[in-house]
Amino acid sequence: MEIHEQLYLGDVVEMRKQHPCGSYQWEIVRVGADIGLVCLTCKRRVLLPRRQFARQAKKFIKRGAQAQGDQAPTTG
Ligand SMILES: [Zn+2]
């Protein structure tokens, strides 16, 4: 399965491959032609081309504030 959803800053994703530090979880810090990710455990920063990111990402752990805003429930 590949992730083809809209990406937002602050999203936390679980990757298929384990980082050398032992973590699978990364936070999205840049959304462009390349996706910027910071390892939540060792804080190492990497850039992945979108296509590569989509292949390596497994699922969303947490959606960023912007994503939550898009899905805000209507009240009243
Ligand atoms: Zn790491």
pLDDT in tens, 42-59: 999 999 999 999 999 999
Domain that residue 41 falls in: 12-64
**Looking at residue 75, what is its pLDDT?**
57
Instruction: Yes or no: say if 25 and 72 are a contact pair by the CB < 8 Å rule.
Output: no
Check: CB of residue 36 under 8 Å from CB of residue 30: yes
**Residue 56 DSSP label:** H
Distance 18 CA to ligand 1 centre (A): 8
Provide the whole-model pTM. 0.81
Mean pLDDT of 4-12: 89
Residue at 55 is within a domain: yes
Does residue 2 sit within a domain? no
Q: What CATH number has the domain bearing residue 25?
A: 2.30.30
* Tally of domains within the chain: 1
Is position 6 within any domain?
A: no
What's the gap in Å between 30 CA and the centre of ligand 1?
Answer: 17
Q: Is residue 30 situated within a structural domain?
A: yes
Give the Å distance between the CA of 29 and the centre of ligand 1.
15
